[in-house]
Amino acid sequence: MIRYSDAELEEFKVLINKKLADASREVAYLQGIITRKDDMGGDVDGRYMTMEDGTVSMEREQMSQMVSRQISFIDNLKKALIRIENKTYGVCRVTGKLIDKARLRAVPHATLSLEAKLGIVKPKEQN
């Protein structure tokens, strides 16, 4: 079976754990901001909504989308850690070949080689 060495997998594990910690901190920060905006925004004591209230609501929605993307990113990073433990990390799920290290450093949760992502190669079953 083609795979990265244990030392290489450990290097990727360190990288992924750092990105996981960073992403978790960002989610906590954004959720804190959203919560503070909840305390400020909305229809308080029956007063009419102002333009400012609409802006707060729009910003809250944008931050909620950012939180959602980060949570998805965290989930993908956790799945990458499982692949490291299983020693299947870095193997393209389409071609069965190793994904380039530079790609994995840029997108550590990648499961496709660049060629497979761009649709340049056919799945391994059809080769």
Backbone angles phi, psi at 24, to 5 degrees: -65, -40
First and final C-alpha spacing in the chain: 17
pTM metric for this prediction: 0.79
Q: Is 104:12 a contact under the CB 8 Å cutoff?
A: yes
Q: What is the pLDDT of residues 51-110, one digit of tens each?
A: 566 777 788 899 999 999 999 999 999 999 999 999 999 999 999 999 999 999 999 999
Confidence at residue 126, expressed as pLDDT on a 0 to 100 scale: 47
Entry field: residues in the chain = 127
Q: What is the pLDDT of residues 49-63, one digit of tens each?
A: 565 667 777 888 999
Domain boundaries, the chain: 1-88, 90-127
